[in-house]
Structure 1
Amino acid sequence: MSAPQVEMAAAKAGEVAPIQAAPAVPSERNSAQLDDEKPAPAPQPAEAGIRRWFHWHEPGTSAEEKRLIFKLDWFLLSYSCLCFFIKWLDSNNVTNAYASGMAEELGFGAGNELSWMNTYFTIGNLVGASFANLIITVIRPRFWLPFCLTVWSIFVLFLYKCQTAPQFYALRFCIGLFESAAWPGITWTLGCWYRKSELSRRSALFVVSGVLGQMFSGYLQAALYSGMEGKGGMSAWRWLFIFDFILAVPVAIYGIFCHPDTPHSTGAWYLNEWERQRARERIEEEGRKPVGKMDLTVIRRIFLSWQVYAFTIAYSLWTLTVGSYVMQYFTLYLKSTKWYTIPQINNIPTSIGAVNFVVMLATGFVSDKIGRRGPVCLAVGALLTFNYIVLTVWNVPHGLRMAVFILCGCYGCFTPLLAGWANEACGGDQQKRAFVLGFMTSVGGAVVIPFQQIQFASSQAPRFAKTHGWASALVFVIALTLWTGFGIPLWQKWAEKRVQVDDEDEERARD
């Protein structure tokens, strides 16, 4: 307020405004100090543009809310990342063990034992995913998620005792059954806390942790092969399962004490009352206030919605690209060349994870910034299409084949993009959102079982020439690109317009 405004306000209040002293003339002694206190120049347009794109909080976020988000990132996001890291560590360890002496020691030969281990794991996943994510709406996440992590880690530990393929199949089914709670459950809880403009970046970091788990599994097996072979009378590949279990124990304990549950049920010790209330308001301001309940209406709310079909189709097309198995096929390719040592065979495929890491973070930032997932999916799908064309042709220079295997790491960004998209599209219906995230995982896992067994049998790796594996996967890559780039956006736009018209008709009927 300026001095004249102060005098006018004081006059209206019947008071005499104090006489303003003349500003002191700065002396030479303090002129440097005054120069230091001058406001910083405004950022240049280019610098402001960069800040608008690469920011962690939305512009205008208060210091108090930034502190709330920091706590969520520190506790909720960190546990989510650690849990997913363990999940992918445990998912990928069989491949690394298989390539590091397990097949030879147990006499698996040229059969499809590795494919069947993947299949039984996937069957466990599809049986458990939908039910696990409905359970999480009843049992608090800080109990349910660490419980599932503990149980599947115990089954992972038992793998070190296996002597036959059927023993692996049984344990892999049990591991998949309880691991099915991880991805949809964590994705659901992230959607409970973060805004739409924050969700893709956090989902990307969460899924990136799984990529790091894949990479670490290779590094760990390579280190164990060099340092633990023969220790305790066991092969190094058996030690891998023991170390995986040891790493999981502190993560489960951390989750019990630090997972915040949901904004409307939280009792987290690190959140004060204002932060708990603000967390609820943040979600409600976006029209995602929890609605609905676990009753018979949930069936109608789910299966008459567009979301359950749109995202289930998308996730199924994604699994049918066999992108999640590319690191495994790359490992088998390196082994088939007979040019690389076992540590190299375990380490080189981790470069796929590095590509995955970069692409996930980049696509998460871009999709949050533009507020749309479709264009990002379209761009990544175009790159993935090129990679699969090269793998389908196959008769290309070794360097190009290596490059496209590594660039296939871009496939992973579809997971956080679809998860964030489904989270925001389902709004506040907690049961529908939970079921959609679990159901899309189950169906995606179900459809890939026969496809992976027939088209990508491990006995035909890495070219899959007789089964035309890469060519058939290319068809699904193209379908995925078109469906996520054009199909879902158009369906969502039509559905939202229809809801708006129905609401207007209902309002006119009341009038």
Structure 2
Amino acid sequence: MAVDSDYKRAASHSLSPTRSSASGEEERVVHLVKEQPKPSWKSYLWDTFNKSPEERRFLFKLDAVLLTFASLGYFIKYLDQININNAFVSGMKEDLGLFGNELNYMQTCWTVGYVLGEIPSNILLTRVRPSIWIPSCEVTWAVLTILLAKCTTTTQIYVLRFFIGLAESTFYPGMQYIIGSWYRKDELAKRSCIFHASSALGTMFSGYLMAAVYKLNGRNGFHGWQWLFIVDTVISLPIAIAGFFLIPDVPEITRAWYFSPQEVALARKRMELEGRANRAPYTKAKFKKIFSSWHLYLLTALYVFFNNGNGALGQPAMQLWLKSKGYSVTDINTFPTITSAITVVTTLMYAWSSDTIFRGARWPPIIFSGTVLIVVYSSLAVWDIPDGWKWACFFLAGVGGGISGLTFAWAHEICAHDNEERALVTGSMNEMAYVFQAWLPLLIWQQVEAPVYRKGYITMVFVAAAMIATALLIRHLQRRDAARGTRASDEALTREIEGA
């Protein structure tokens, strides 16, 4: 509790009219922030319609820069992450003689690198500027991606995939941490989900790109799948470099060139009203508090179930089924993009409904997603079903891919009063999800069992059920803690009145 008090004193100190360097005009802007925006019909369309003109202008700038860069960055991350699947089904398997479980090992090497980097990276982000660390890692993975085009052995691919995963580990949890440092509760789910939806766009574009560059097969001595890695880097590198100039860090240390001093003061006041703590040193007491709370364990479990409960999206399940049915390379790469399109649409539906219809509740879309996945994967586990329903199940699997942003928004709100806990929890959520992803596919998504994958589909049913149960438990504990906090505040107020 002492640490939380320090946060509040530090926040009030930085914004105090007597101690702050902000001018009178800055103070005037700060006081334009509403404690809690009153809902109106316009806010159901987009939350900035419910703000003051000054706050609306600030959010327009923030969205235009931070949200655009985050989405582009995640787009290229997924483009460079998923390309191995598209390359594999587009000639790499035959050219390199990959007829065992080599694809599983390539995915695992990437996952191991990703796992090792996440928590250290998020801890580092609380000590250094994100605008330096994140773009540096983006440039690294973009350069390593083009080297995949020159690989002639599986060992070379395994090594490169490990280091690509290590470099990519900084981006998603890091950008979720930054987004959670700038937006208020009524804004957060939409931004987190829009950011996450760009991964589905990356998956879609990789399929279209593979279908297009396959026409370059044999050009300048490169196969079509090699051209995919080359073009990916050409797309990724400029976006990575732009991060050095566009990432605004976090409000307390921002030096973003596109914000005025008044807007920086506005940003800090907004986070103060949300109870979002500033950065503070790591101490023994802080670590004890973090590791003794349910926040770390249940929020991490929720994301583990989400991330590993969408196995058909992480594996070329539909592609390999289409290949077994004799479809062309173009069809194999383009039909599965419909699943990604469904993920984009449902992601936005989850975000808007959570922020508006459910008034900030994050659990209802999670329950809906899990229920649909139980139906989808139960059907695929049977496998001997009409082809029409099989197509529908592969497409509807995309319904489960859109709740990542909601889980992170929920974590930002639950851990709002401790910046370091928020960074550690969001890093742990993503890292532990990929710890399971490092070994689970080797057991249940074995390449030699494609395209049936019965073990994988049955496992997904139980994982979806576990996700639903975990979400309901988090909802119960969050409400219990809120009630306890209210009682403690009332008791403190009663003691103060009696003492007076």
- TM category (shorter chain) comes to 0.7 to 0.9
2:428 alignment counterpart: 439
Give 1:330 deviation, angstroms: 1.2
User: Does structure 1 residue 53 correspond to structure 2 residue 41?
Assistant: no
2:201 alignment counterpart: 212
- Helix, strand or coil: the match of 2:217? coil
Q: Is the 8 A contact 1:318 1:480 kept in 2?
A: yes
Q: Deviations over 1:396-417 (max 9, x none)?
A: 1111101110111111122111
Q: Please list, as runs of the form range in 1=range in 2, the aligned pairs for 1:275-424 lying within 5 A after superposition.
A: 275-290=263-278, 292-323=280-311, 325-326=313-314, 328-338=316-326, 340-369=327-356, 370-424=359-413
Q: Which letter maps to 2:223?
A: S
- 1:85 and 1:358 mapped to 2: Cα distance? 16
Give 1:49 deviation, angstroms: 7.8
User: How many equivalent pairs are there?
Assistant: 457
Give 1:383 deviation, angstroms: 1.4
- 1:416 and 1:324 mapped to 2: Cα distance? 19
- 1:324 and 1:123 mapped to 2: Cα distance? 20
2:244 alignment counterpart: 256
Q: Deviations over 1:368-387 (max 9, x none)?
A: 11210111211222112111
- 1:373 and 1:492 mapped to 2: Cα distance? 12
Where in structure 2 are there 5+ consecutive unaligned residues? 1-38
2:482 alignment counterpart: 496
1:95 alignment counterpart: 85
Q: Which letter maps to 2:74?
A: F
2:221 alignment counterpart: 233
1:8 alignment counterpart: none
Q: Is the 8 A contact 2:365 2:403 kept in 1?
A: no
- Helix, strand or coil: the match of 2:190? helix
User: Does structure 1 residue 463 correspond to structure 2 residue 452?
Assistant: yes
Q: 1:322 to 1:452 in 2, by over 3 A?
A: farther
Q: Is the 8 A contact 1:306 1:495 kept in 2?
A: no
Give 1:305 deviation, angstroms: 2.0
Match for residue 157 of structure 1 among 140, 146, 149: 146
Give 1:50 deviation, angstroms: 5.6
Where in structure 1 are there 5+ consecutive unaligned residues? 1-47
Q: Deviations over 1:443-489 (max 9, x none)?
A: 11112332211111111112124xx22112211111112222x1110
Q: How many percent of aligned residue pairs carry the same amino acid?
A: 36
Q: 1:431 to 1:85 in 2, by over 3 A?
A: same
2:54 alignment counterpart: 64
Q: Which letter maps to 1:345?
A: I
Give 1:170 deviation, angstroms: 1.1
Q: Is the 8 A contact 1:322 1:452 kept in 2?
A: no
Q: Which letter maps to 1:69?
A: L
Q: Is the 8 A contact 2:49 2:56 kept in 1?
A: no
1:116 alignment counterpart: 105
Q: Deviations over 1:278-325 (max 9, x none)?
A: 011111111113153233333223212221111111011123314463
Bigger CA radius of gyration: 1
Q: Is the 8 A contact 2:310 2:400 kept in 1?
A: no
Give 1:249 deviation, angstroms: 1.4
Give 1:211 deviation, angstroms: 0.8
Q: Which letter maps to 1:377?
A: I
1:107 alignment counterpart: 97
- Helix, strand or coil: the match of 2:48? coil
- 2:140 and 2:283 mapped to 1: Cα distance? 29
- 1:253 and 1:242 mapped to 2: Cα distance? 17
When the two structures are superposed, what TM-score results if normalisation uses the length of structure 2? 0.88
Q: Is the 8 A contact 1:324 1:412 kept in 2?
A: no
- 1:56 and 1:497 mapped to 2: Cα distance? 28
When the two structures are superposed, what TM-score results if normalisation uses the length of structure 1? 0.86
2:160 alignment counterpart: 171
Q: Is the 8 A contact 1:323 1:412 kept in 2?
A: no
